[in-house]
Amino acid sequence: MPSVHESSFKETNVELLVFEASESSGVSFASIKQAAENIRGRAHVTPVLSSKLINQILSAGETEFFFKCENLQKTGSFKFRGAYNALSCLKESDKGRPIVTHSSGNHAQAIAAAAAMHNTTAHVIMPQNASRVKFHAVKSYGAHLTFCRPTTKDRVRTAEQVREAVNGILVSPFEHPGVVAGQGTVGLELMQQVKDLEALVVPIGGGGLISGIAIAAKSCNPKVVVIGAEPTLASTAFQSLQAGERLQATGASDTVADGLKSGIGVLGWQVVCRLVDKVITVSEEDIISSMKLIWERMKLVIEPSAGVGVAAVQSEEFRELRFKRVGIILCGGNVDLDHLPWQN
Amino acid sequence: MPSVHESSFKETNVELLVFEASESSGVSFASIKQAAENIRGRAHVTPVLSSKLINQILSAGETEFFFKCENLQKTGSFKFRGAYNALSCLKESDKGRPIVTHSSGNHAQAIAAAAAMHNTTAHVIMPQNASRVKFHAVKSYGAHLTFCRPTTKDRVRTAEQVREAVNGILVSPFEHPGVVAGQGTVGLELMQQVKDLEALVVPIGGGGLISGIAIAAKSCNPKVVVIGAEPTLASTAFQSLQAGERLQATGASDTVADGLKSGIGVLGWQVVCRLVDKVITVSEEDIISSMKLIWERMKLVIEPSAGVGVAAVQSEEFRELRFKRVGIILCGGNVDLDHLPWQN
């Protein structure tokens, strides 16, 4: 099997691909650097942790892993960066208008918290099967809550109804350049915190996180490899790359990684198809055992979505790439402690 | 109620008390600074985390709390510092002899790991009711395991039998100046990491951790207040201070904070009676809810013993002291994820 260094991207001009991705998505390295300014002092610069024991377990010590702890971010996930930045980027005439969004949870909390910090009202549409902890957190930030059925279609429709009713502004979880630029600051920060990273491993849901990170990281260092990680049960990015065109999610996924149930979005696809070197898919069993491993050995509470990246680096496919220094994004830590996935 | 600033220690000469405590315990600020040298590069300098949300929950934002994350220490608790330092302090002629200890778990793991790093054999005596995760961890470091009944008496007797059989050296979990000096590095580090701390809150079991920390912290700043935290179900330090003499634990305690079941030791008492300003006792219910709070809001896996300090700062007794900047030692993170105390 060819290593990713010999992949189809080898001969191409990465700078050109970054330029094309920025043009078609509306997210540039400049807008990510501006986002970093916008969130400074409001979002945490999250720590990067590492552990020899974990390196041993994950790669028999062959690879050094650097864990970017977005589970320690405000509201418990990276989503706060994008939400806060999107509200910072509003036109002057739109400031103060209600903010409306739909989300399975983490973006909802992020919008609720960011809206409160921007002194505006948030209206959040959540699927009725999202976890109790997430409902509770969204309400604790003072947001208004509306429930919908757990399908993308119903979420979008309900959000539009609410938006009209309150004359609000919709801030989508990932189809929004301001949101994606905010998420890109994770990559910018990590590249500044750890030198000589060869690869970054990033979970993919709608694709906002990996898009922002890919633009930021490849602008810092065109040689860095960006690898997506998806649950096999929710792998539209993987399937889209295979098909050569964006495929939509076919109904609700049953993956335990509830933050990754969305299909890859339109904006995300513009970046992923150009800048993501590979997507690795992982089983539910591996997601759960990887999540538990991080709890047990690194003493960090992470959610299943964050376990997806940890599972990916344990795959044969990843090990064969023989990277020496790898960043893994622990994207969030919001779980219901009364219902853990390794317990029945 | 008088604040602790007006306590019986107000008029006394703290420097003299530190001197007396050092003389009678064999642990001095110099030996703690030497311990810091001995463990440099082998133990982690653990991060200090803080959270405005937690400050809000614990004190309505009145107090800034700084959490010293010894759950992120090697082997999952502060105990590695003491164990590694004790082995570093062995006489040349004793190096290489087997190391013997008894422990409910964290010291056992620490000795096992430290012995492996010093290229020597560890023999560990553990109560048969310690958690499965702890057995497993101790064995994974290559230590020999012997089980005993869960009483202090049986632990000590079994350890002595093993020590004789292997011609080993006993390294007690807390009745050992090298161990206590190692634990003191937690306090030294924290005082260097966070400026202007007014108080430190430290869980008490055998008293090794709080003794080392009290000597280190009061040597750095005689004005810093050191507060112990104990489960009401295992509160021999509290009771000893009330009685004015060291009392022994009366049989096995049922507290969920299994790391704190030991009664206050002889060495620890020499320091605690002189340098600990107050001991606060907390209920089992408060220990469990505090532990869960840190998991939920700070995304850190901590064990019940670490929850004891978090519970203490929520007591009326602590709030009345109105400190502005407080360090809390999150002493460890070793828990059995299949048996969490908030689940039946």
Question: Which domains does chain A show, CATH number per domain?
Answer: 3-77+177-343 (3.40.50.1100), 79-170 (3.40.50.1100)
CB atoms within 10 A of CB B276: 24
For a pLDDT cut of 70, what percent of chain B falls above it?
A: 96
DSSP B295-309: HHHH-B---HHHHHH
pTM of this structure: 0.93
Burial class (CB in 10 A: 0-12, 13-18, 19+), A19: middle
Provide the pLDDT confidence category of residue A319 given band limits of 50, 70 and 90: very high
Structure tokens at B32: 């703690």
Predicted pLDDT of residue A105: 83
Question: pLDDT tens digits, residue range A58-91?
Answer: 999 999 999 999 999 999 999 999 999 999 999 9
Rounded CA-CA distance A79/A70 in Å is: 9
Mean pLDDT of B249-255: 81
Element (H, E) at A202: strand A199-203
Nearest one of A332, A341, A291 to A137, comparing CA atoms = A332
Cα B297 versus chain centre, distance? 23
* Contact call for residues A212 and A243 (beta carbons, < 8 A): no
Residue of B nearest to A332 (CA): B299
Q: Tell me, what DSSP letter sits at residue B249?
A: P
A76 shares contact with chain B (CB less than 8 Å): yes
Q: Which residues of A224-237 are buried (b: 16+ CB within 10 A; e: fewer)?
A: bbbbbbbbebbbbb
**What SS3 state is found at B19?**
helix
Q: Report CB contact under 8 Å: B337, A49.
A: no
Rounded CA-CA distance B109/B42 in Å is: 15
Provide the pLDDT confidence category of residue A8 given band limits of 50, 70 and 90: very low
Question: pLDDT tens digits, residue range A216-231?
Answer: 999 999 999 999 999 9
Cα B35 versus chain centre, distance? 16
Structure tokens at B155: 């632990």
Q: Tell me, what DSSP letter sits at residue B118?
A: T
Q: Report CB contact under 8 Å: A300, B299.
A: yes
Structure tokens at B235: 């509160």
Q: Tell me, what DSSP letter sits at residue B129?
A: T
Q: Which residues does B212 contact at the CB level (< 8 Å), separation at least 6?
A: B27, B32, B82, B180, B181, B182, B183, B184, B185, B186, B187
Give the gap in angstroms from C-alpha A41 to the nearest C-alpha of chain B.
13
Residue B338's Cβ-side half-sphere holds a number of Cα atoms within 13 Å equal to 6
Partner residues linked to A332 by β-bridges: A77
Mean pLDDT of A332-340: 93
Q: Report CB contact under 8 Å: A338, B343.
A: yes
A204 shares contact with chain B (CB less than 8 Å): no
B338 shares contact with chain A (CB less than 8 Å): yes
Cα A16 versus chain centre, distance? 24
Question: pLDDT tens digits, residue range A91-116?
Answer: 999 998 999 998 868 999 999 999 99
Give the gap in angstroms from C-alpha B251 to the nearest C-alpha of chain A.
31
Residue B8 confidence (pLDDT) above 80: no
Predicted pLDDT of residue A267: 97
Rounded CA-CA distance A235/A205 in Å is: 8
* Contact call for residues B66 and B326 (beta carbons, < 8 A): yes
Residue of B nearest to A289 (CA): B337
Provide the pLDDT confidence category of residue A127 given band limits of 50, 70 and 90: confident
Out of B79, B218, B261, B278, the active site residue is B79
R_g of chain B computed on alpha carbons: 19
Predicted pLDDT of residue A113: 96
Partner residues linked to A281 by β-bridges: A230
Residue B297's Cβ-side half-sphere holds a number of Cα atoms within 13 Å equal to 21
ipTM value for the complex = 0.91
Question: pLDDT tens digits, residue range A206-218?
Answer: 999 999 999 999 9
* Contact call for residues A323 and A226 (beta carbons, < 8 A): no
Residue B2 confidence (pLDDT) above 60: no
Give the gap in angstroms from C-alpha A48 to the nearest C-alpha of chain B.
11
CB atoms within 10 A of CB A171: 27
Torsion A54-A60-A65-A70 (CA) sign: negative
Rounded CA-CA distance B18/B32 in Å is: 13
Q: How many residues belong to chain A?
A: 344
B79 catalytically annotated: yes
Residue A146 confidence (pLDDT) above 70: yes
Rounded CA-CA distance A274/A204 in Å is: 15
A79 catalytically annotated: yes
For chain A, first and last CA: distance in Å? Answer: 39
Question: pLDDT tens digits, residue range B96-138?
Answer: 899 999 886 899 999 999 999 999 999 999 988 877 777 888 9
Amino acid identity at A339: H
Residue A250 confidence (pLDDT) above 80: no
Structure tokens at B73: 């220490």
Partner residues linked to A48 by β-bridges: A68
Provide the pLDDT confidence category of residue A151 given band limits of 50, 70 and 90: confident
Nearest one of A296, A302, A311, A297 to A259, comparing CA atoms = A302
B340 shares contact with chain A (CB less than 8 Å): yes
* Contact call for residues A75 and A124 (beta carbons, < 8 A): no
DSSP A313-339: TTSHHHHTT--SEEEEEE-B----TTS
Residue A335 confidence (pLDDT) above 80: yes
Closest partner CB to A76 (pick from B299, B340, B343): B299
The CA-CA-CA angle for residues B198, B310, B54, to 5°, reads 85
Question: pLDDT tens digits, residue range B18-55?
Answer: 999 999 999 999 999 999 999 999 999 999 999 988 99
Out of B104, B211, B235, B253, the active site residue is B104
User: DSSP alpha helices (H): ranges in A167-207?
Assistant: 177-193
CB atoms within 10 A of CB B171: 27
Rounded CA-CA distance A210/A219 in Å is: 14
Rounded CA-CA distance B254/B256 in Å is: 6
Nearest one of A188, A217, A163 to A78, comparing CA atoms = A188
Mean pLDDT of A40-51: 95
Structure tokens at A178: 């301001």
B300 shares contact with chain A (CB less than 8 Å): yes
Rounded CA-CA distance A19/A188 in Å is: 17
Q: Which residues of B touch A299 (CB under 8 A)?
A: 69, 71-72, 76, 300-302, 333
* Sheet arrangement for strand A99-102: A144-148, A122-127, A99-102, A169-170
Closest partner CB to B299 (pick from A292, A333, A340): A333
Q: Report CB contact under 8 Å: A301, B292.
A: no
Partner residues linked to B65 by β-bridges: B326
Question: pLDDT tens digits, residue range A271-313?
Answer: 999 999 999 999 999 999 999 999 999 999 999 999 999 999 9
Rounded CA-CA distance A178/B230 in Å is: 49
Q: Report CB contact under 8 Å: B301, A302.
A: no
Give the gap in angstroms from C-alpha B92 to the nearest C-alpha of chain A.
29
Provide the pLDDT confidence category of residue B11 given band limits of 50, 70 and 90: low
**What SS3 state is found at A75?**
helix
Nearest one of A310, A270, A272 to A291, comparing CA atoms = A310
Rounded CA-CA distance B111/B123 in Å is: 9
**What SS3 state is found at A278?**
strand
Give the gap in angstroms from C-alpha A298 to the nearest C-alpha of chain B.
7
Amino acid identity at B286: D
Q: Report phi then psi at B265, rounded to 5.
A: -85, 175
DSSP B253-321: ---S-GGG-SPPPHHHHHHHHHH--EEEEE-HHHHHHHHHHHHHHH-B---HHHHHHHHHTTSHHHHTT
